[in-house]
Structure 1
Amino acid sequence: MTKVRVKGFKIFKDRHGRQRCYHRKTGHKIDLQKAPLGSAEFFAECEAIRAIADAQLVKAAKAGTLGGLIKSYFETEHYQNLAEATRRDYRKCADFLEPIKDTPIHVIDTPLIAGIHDKAAKKIGWRRANMVRTLLSEVFRYSIPMGLIAANYAKDVIPKRRPREQAYANRPWSIEERDVVLLRAKPHVRAALALMMNTGLDPSDALKLRKDQIDGDTIWGVRGKTGAEVAIPVGPTLQAAFDRIPKHEAETVLSSSRGEAWTYNGFSTVWHRFKTALEKEGVIAPGLTLKGLRHTVATTLREAGLDERRIADLLGQKTPSMARHYSRSANLADKNRETMAALEKEIERRTKTVKPTGKSVKPD
């Protein structure tokens, strides 16, 4: 059977095996009952949706406006080279700014951007508001050399802080939670979770990992979000997880139960349904996330005494500060007790080696 591909459209089978199709940029769906896949009606519907999308794009970006600046930024090489997830987040931020896209450039200043930031925090939350601020900062930064705006008016807007009472996202998993999830998960889901647990790979990177990226006892790759290279040794535990992966023909290491490469949305849907069922049974606490497995690896390494630079290298992070962020819940009490004991011992030693005159003497 010939596989139909149309640029700009996503064609797939849902979990019930039914064919689905939608336009990636606009999300407009095509009713394949009325316009069967590959038919003349189908291609006519595709062209109509493209025309609408192009018309909306032209209308959305007037020269000399905030919308125009954002459109120009989305056409830069910098934006095109960002990770897919980051581009998706920026597009969502642009959607939030849609009502004010016609704001003239000459009225944009720092107080205006600060007001937009405050309003965003109230409507879409502090985290997404900070993403809006980041997008505007990037838009202005790339617009200055082009002579489109005079300054980066978002740079001095203070980011919102996480509310003190709000638990941070992506908490580390407990050993008990890890064990029960692996025990209850179906083979294809268990394989994906085990890979994330034993490597610290970002979920999207783990799902995209190809078989040819495993050379002997090492996983070689590039982190999608930062472009940082990663080299992860395959130890006995990880090798055992690999050995239990069901056989399949996909080029990726992991696959769905149909033997096809996972999509991020597809795996997320399966994971959410599985996790919710376990929460209802009371065998895991709320708040488990796939990203939390990455934090679990960082936390475990920090508690084992590894420094932030080494943790950052394993996780594909460019700066140790991100390793510190990922391992911020590490239980360092025991390590710090040892440190304090060493400090007290050294103070005591130095005290005994000092005469009343204040001159140091060598210990016996």
Structure 2
Amino acid sequence: MTQIKLRRLTVDTSENITRYYVRLPGKPKIRIYGEPGSEEFMQAYRDAIAGDRSVLIERPAPATFAARTFGRAVLDYYTSTSFQQLGESRKRSRRLILNKLVDSAGKDPVKLITKAVIQKGMDRRATTPAAANEFLKSMRAVLDYLVSVDELEANPAKLVKYNSIKTDGFHIWTIDEVARFVEHHGLGSKAVLALALLLFTGQRRGDVIKMGPQHVKDGSMRLRRGKNGESGSIPILPPLQAVIDASEIGHLTYLITAFGKPFSDAGIGNWFRDRCDEADLPHCSAHGLRKAGATIAADLGASDEQLMALFGWRSRRQVSTYTRGANQKKLAHEAGSRIAAALKMNGIVPLSGTVESQRDKPTKKGNEIKR
């Protein structure tokens, strides 16, 4: 960080962001933009000292943006509305990615960020495709911000494609596995309470650990999801209410540790992992319950809008992970039924889906009928 000392100039460093302000007696503080010591910075400082508050409400004209560095652009993005609207966990993960990029390329001019540069960044992360996608998502967000303030005419990151990741990820619980877990731990146990909250609300474990009686009104739970900051109302379905009523719950959160404190995100994951092992379900996990709920709902015909409302997704691309399998199953069944119907029309009974046993049903061979 560049050290600079000027009259009435103060430095505010928080959340790994350094901001400079001029404080004049009896007046609101004035934010100073630009690289400390640069002509842009010094001119803004002189205007502020002279009492010119235009420096507070006007960013540099588009013509000066070409000289902006990527590091400066990232810092300004952190103060943008689009970033502030993210959930806290998403903010933290995005800062980790962007701060590392600033360390290595923070002094590069924004005008040098091209499709080719971003594609090279993706290529360098080819061995970790998920991390590459997060890199691209973060770059798209920063460059979208630059487009919104007229620094760029178009977002070159949108010309780069995400990696296609083919993985089953976390195991999706089956109905039988849910039954085995409940049978092993029993109604009224903390383990079954955790399972019911995860399964019936469709929320991430980091949101489930925050749920408590104070969030419920008129049979629904109101919450703000930590990952994307999305607000939503989740119905407390009768099966979930029955489990809550049968369980010992905390005062502010339903789930509490053995010490009477709310769980941490990592803590609930490790604790639930142990409960799965105890039920002889070592391949199951908390996250797998969220996927199970989405899969079951999709298989039973839940619409994209219904899944988005329950699980807090913002795009249909997220929904398609679950509806794709359900639609494939439905379409395959319909196609198979058509084949069976066509065979039946042509008298090919054994392959037409008849429910009668072929041993009990007369069969036709040539011009004879055998029993």
Compute the TM-score of the two structures, normalised by the length of structure 2: 0.65
2-structure distance, mates of 1:214, 1:339: 45
Number of the residue aligned with 1:144: 147
C-alpha contact 1:83 1:226 (8 A) present in aligned 2: yes
Sort the Cα spacing of 1:188 and 1:231 in 2 relative to 1 into closer, same or farther, 3 A: same
**SS where residue 205 of structure 1 aligns?**
helix
Among 289, 292, 296, the alignment partner of 1:296 is 292
C-alpha contact 2:126 2:132 (8 A) present in aligned 1: yes
Amino acid at match of 1:284: L
1-structure distance, mates of 2:220, 2:115: 49
2-structure distance, mates of 1:132, 1:285: 32
Deviations 1:224-251 (A, max 9, x none): 44555544333332122111331432x2
Number of the residue aligned with 1:312: 308
**Cα distance, 1:157 vs. partner?**
0.9
2-structure distance, mates of 1:234, 1:73: 38
Moved more, 218-227 or 169-178: 218-227
Among 64, 76, 81, the alignment partner of 2:80 is 76
**1:209-224 → structure 2 map (5 Å cutoff):** 209-224=211-226
Deviations 1:124-168 (A, max 9, x none): x11121111111111111123435445422110111111x4xx33
Amino acid at match of 2:266: N
**SS where residue 196 of structure 1 aligns?**
helix
Amino acid at match of 1:130: N
1-structure distance, mates of 2:15, 2:245: 52
1-structure distance, mates of 2:15, 2:140: 27
**SS where residue 121 of structure 1 aligns?**
coil
Amino acid at match of 2:295: T
Aligned residue pairs, count: 287
Sort the Cα spacing of 1:156 and 1:179 in 2 relative to 1 into closer, same or farther, 3 A: same
Among 96, 104, 118, the alignment partner of 2:123 is 118
**Cα distance, 1:213 vs. partner?**
2.4
**Cα distance, 1:289 vs. partner?**
3.5
Sort the Cα spacing of 1:109 and 1:330 in 2 relative to 1 into closer, same or farther, 3 A: same
Sort the Cα spacing of 1:55 and 1:324 in 2 relative to 1 into closer, same or farther, 3 A: closer
Sort the Cα spacing of 1:311 and 1:342 in 2 relative to 1 into closer, same or farther, 3 A: farther
Moved more, 127-136 or 228-237: 228-237
C-alpha contact 1:308 1:323 (8 A) present in aligned 2: yes
Number of the residue aligned with 2:159: 156
* Higher Cα radius of gyration: 2
C-alpha contact 1:223 1:316 (8 A) present in aligned 2: yes
Moved more, 98-107 or 190-199: 98-107
- The gaps in structure 2 that reach 5 residues or longer are 1-10, 20-32, 36-67, 346-371
**Cα distance, 1:52 vs. partner?**
12
Q: CA RMSD in A?
A: 3.6
Amino acid at match of 2:80: T
Number of the residue aligned with 1:237: 239
Compute the TM-score of the two structures, normalised by the length of structure 1: 0.66
C-alpha contact 1:62 1:102 (8 A) present in aligned 2: no
The alignment status of 1:109 with 2:114, answered yes or no, reads: yes
Sort the Cα spacing of 1:189 and 1:94 in 2 relative to 1 into closer, same or farther, 3 A: farther
C-alpha contact 2:273 2:286 (8 A) present in aligned 1: no
Amino acid at match of 1:237: P
**Cα distance, 1:112 vs. partner?**
0.7
**Cα distance, 1:113 vs. partner?**
1.0
Amino acid at match of 2:120: G
2-structure distance, mates of 1:193, 1:245: 12
Number of the residue aligned with 2:257: 256
2-structure distance, mates of 1:54, 1:332: 50
- The gaps in structure 1 that reach 5 residues or longer are 1-50, 350-364
2-structure distance, mates of 1:93, 1:145: 21
Sort the Cα spacing of 1:297 and 1:62 in 2 relative to 1 into closer, same or farther, 3 A: same
Among 98, 117, 134, the alignment partner of 1:131 is 134
1-structure distance, mates of 2:116, 2:173: 42
Sort the Cα spacing of 1:145 and 1:197 in 2 relative to 1 into closer, same or farther, 3 A: closer
C-alpha contact 1:172 1:293 (8 A) present in aligned 2: yes
